């Protein structure tokens, strides 16, 4: 008989004597500890119209008692108290352990010590622990959510990195404008800039398709024949779209003798898991080769290991919580692997910075400076050199302040004698 049955039961009286032992519930008794079915009456009280519990057994708890959700909250799993007079029974699959309505778990940050109760009427804070009494998840893995609670939301792909992000808009005006700008002698470059400079990435595929349908010509081929130099380079980068432009840059960085590590950094460092997965898939479809395999064959030693960590797409999502204890643990480990010893442990630093979310890296950088009175970026510059230094500094900047990271990257292209035009165009278009 479930809670909320008509007063007086379903036409038959309660069975005599205590319920028998064994799997399942006998008819006439309310199910104990059903998952996801809250009782209508206070926990422990019998349904209306039924015999009361024998004298001396558990009374209904007071409102607001620790372990009992507030009256306005419903739908949370309930279980029998540990001092229940009934014998222990085998629990159905998926139900919480019979000895306690909640698994024994480590106290979260800010929770009251074991044995203490929160103020009356307050529900204990949610704990990010594995269900059914499993061990606490280590920092670096997404925290498990209670049964029925929303999971940590993955960071969505950036604009232009999802094939389904195609704008269904009329691009006939833009297509005709571009065709008119390229007709006759010379090219109206101002019109090309006006049409393409502020076009969202989702509209670019529609523009190329409309141009092909209306003029029976390929837009990229026409622009390539009409333009030249770095202006052509920039226009074609816009027409490729951000995803295909990243794929093009990665191939350019890895082909031929040597590796353009700065291009790898610009494309891969600080990206979400969804963007990394989209880039790897597009690279495979475009060149019929695995991006991980190309990186592994072109690089070596610890640099290759670092990029393998990035390409694993196993960063914490931006919606993942920032736990102060875990941040302090990372700060201590980073100090131990750098300033506290002679010779930095490169892979330890890489494993932390490549697996944490931007929010977590920002908290780590702030906590490190507060604890050791030195900026984490300064420590990385002092302990590392060459490309490893550049990559790790970019990781710290990506988490701390993306706008400042991009401003510094643009300034690097223009400082000193001459301008690194190709790198500047790539960074501006990206």
| 3-state SS string for the chain | CCCCCCCCCCCCCCCCCCCCCCCCCCCCCCCCCCCCCCCCCCCCCCCCCCCCCCCCCCCCCCCCCCCCCCCCCCCCCCCCCCCCCCCCCCCCCCCCCCCCCCCCCCCCCCCCCCCCCCCCCCCCCCCCCCCCCCCCCCCCCCCCCCCCCCCCCCCCCCCCCCCCCCCCCCCHHHHHHHHHHHCCCCCCHHHHHHHHCCCCHHHHHHHHHHHHHHHCCCHHHHHHHHCCHHHHHHHHHHHHHHHHHHHHHHHHHHCCCCCCHHHHHHHHCCCCHHHHHHHHHHHHHHHCCCHHHHHHHHCCHHHHHHHHHHHCCCCCCCCCCCCHHHHHHHHHHHHHHCCCCCCCCHHHHHHHHHHCCHHHHHHHHHHHHHHHCCCHHHHHHHHCCHHHHHHHHHHHHHHHCHHHHHHHHHHHHHCCCCCCHHHHHHHHHC
Helix axes 346-355, 324-337, angle to 10 degrees: 150
- Which pLDDT score is estimated for 13? 46
- Which pLDDT score is estimated for 258? 86
- Which pLDDT score is estimated for 168? 85
- Which pLDDT score is estimated for 59? 46
- Which pLDDT score is estimated for 93? 45
- Which pLDDT score is estimated for 151? 64
Q: What residue has token string 């990781």?
A: 395
**Cα gap 353→349, rounded to integer Å:** 6
Pull the structure tokens for residue 19.
């319920």
- Which pLDDT score is estimated for 312? 97
Q: What is the pLDDT of residues 271-289, one digit of tens each?
A: 999 999 999 999 999 999 9
Q: Which residues of the chain have pLDDT under 70?
A: 1-151
Pull the structure tokens for residue 117.
């109760």
Expressed in angstroms, the distance from the first to the final Cα of the chain is 63
- Which pLDDT score is estimated for 260? 94
Phi/psi for 27 (5° steps) reads -65, 145
Other CB atoms within 10 Å distance of the CB of residue 115: 6
Measuring CA to CA, how many Å separate 129 from each of 117, 162, 363?
Answer: 20, 32, 22
Q: Indicate the pTM of the whole model.
A: 0.65
């Amino acid at each position: 008989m479930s809670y909320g049955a008509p007063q007086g039961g379903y036409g038959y009286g309660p069975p005599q004597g205590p319920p028998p032992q064994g799997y399942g519930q006998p008819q006439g008794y309310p199910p104990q500890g059903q998952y996801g079915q809250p009782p209508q009456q206070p926990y422990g009280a019998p349904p209306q119209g039924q015999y009361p519990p024998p004298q001396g057994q558990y009374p209904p708890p007071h409102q607001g008692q620790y372990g009992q959700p507030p009256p306005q909250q419903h739908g949370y799993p309930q279980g029998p108290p540990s001092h229940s007079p009934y014998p222990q029974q085998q629990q159905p699959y998926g139900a919480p352990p019979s000895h306690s309505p909640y698994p024994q778990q480590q106290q979260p940050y800010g929770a009251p010590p074991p044995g203490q109760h929160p103020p009356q009427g307050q529900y204990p804070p949610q704990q990010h622990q594995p269900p059914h009494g499993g061990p606490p998840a280590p920092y670096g893995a997404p925290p498990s959510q209670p049964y029925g609670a929303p999971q940590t939301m993955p960071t969505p792909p950036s604009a232009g990195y999802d094939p389904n992000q195609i704008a269904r808009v009329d691009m006939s005006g833009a297509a005709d404008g571009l065709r008119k700008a390229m007709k006759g002698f010379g090219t109206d470059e101002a019109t090309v800039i006006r049409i393409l400079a502020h076009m969202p990435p989702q509209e670019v595929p529609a523009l190329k398709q409309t141009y092909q349908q209306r003029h029976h010509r390929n837009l990229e081929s026409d622009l390539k024949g009409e333009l030249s130099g770095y202006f052509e380079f920039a226009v074609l980068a816009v027409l490729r779209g951000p995803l295909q432009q990243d794929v093009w840059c990665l191939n350019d960085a890895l082909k031929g003798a040597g590796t353009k590590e700065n291009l790898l950094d610009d494309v891969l460092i600080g990206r979400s898991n969804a963007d990394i997965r989209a880039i790897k898939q597009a690279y495979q479809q475009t060149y019929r080769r695995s991006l991980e395999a190309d990186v592994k064959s072109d690089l070596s030693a610890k640099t290759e290991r670092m990029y393998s960590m990035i390409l694993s797409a196993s960063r914490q999502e931006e919606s993942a919580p920032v736990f102060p204890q875990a941040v302090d643990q990372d700060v201590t480990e980073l100090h131990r692997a750098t300033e506290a010893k002679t010779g930095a442990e490169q892979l330890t630093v890489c494993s932390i910075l490549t697996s944490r979310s931007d929010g977590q890296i920002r908290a780590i950088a702030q906590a490190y400076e507060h604890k050791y009175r030195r900026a984490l970026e300064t420590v990385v510059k002092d302990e590392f050199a060459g490309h490893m230094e550049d990559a790790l500094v970019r990781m710290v900047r990506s988490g701390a302040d993306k706008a400042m990271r991009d401003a510094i990257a643009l300034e690097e292209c223009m400082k000193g004698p001459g301008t690194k035009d190709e790198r500047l165009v790539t960074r501006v278009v990206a």
